[in-house]
Structure 1
């Protein structure tokens, strides 16, 4: 039985439900991948922050990591934003 003849045996409602199920599955997969990418980016930001501390400054870290200074600064900003967000969450959870 081909896919076309199978689709024709389903009602419009069933075809719509199947299409929605597939769409939701794809959206879920993309959401999970975005979350993993975000987590990896934050981990990279933390590693770059540590590298700047070890190398002494942004320029030295840029040379040591073979990464543009602009990228170093972007990751430093991201790490600061994450730290500020974590501080805000801690403050909110500490309030009665």
Structure 2
């Protein structure tokens, strides 16, 4: 009586299909995680934008948030890009 290896029982085609299924599942997981990260970055960008307004400037917000000026500026740029994208979508909806 011999014990068969489960991988040997599968054909090459089945092994390839299983490998591709796992790869696609991982890609899907990464895509979903990236979307969550993007959403979180936009939320932080909006909060940083508000902080700049409340603190009265980029330098003051940087100090108040204990965040490097470059990071504050990066989030401000992201918020600006997001607002521009939202305006583009809104304009496209109005036009169509």
Please confirm whether the aligned pair reaches a TM-score higher than 0.5, indicating the same fold. Answer: yes
Aligned to 1:50: 50
Q: TM-score, normalised by structure 2?
A: 0.95
Deviation for aligned residue 1:39 = 0.3
Q: Counterpart of 1:34?
A: 34
Provide the residue aligned with 2:6 in structure 1: 6
Unaligned runs of 5+ in 2: none
Unaligned stretches of 5+ residues in structure 1:
none
How far apart, CA to CA, are the structure 2 residues paired with 1:47 and 1:74?
Answer: 13
Name the residue aligned to 2:88: 88
Runs of 4+ more than 3 Å apart:
none
Once the two structures are TM-superposed, the CA of residue 41 in structure 1 deviates from its matched residue by 0.3
What is the RMSD of the two structures over their aligned residues, measured on CA atoms?
Answer: 1.3
Deviation at 1:50, TM superposition (A): 0.3
SS of 2:5's equivalent? helix
User: How many residues matched?
Assistant: 94
2:24 corresponding residue in structure 1: 24
1:14 Cα offset (Å): 0.4
Shift of 1:43: 0.3
TM-score, scaled to structure 1: 0.95
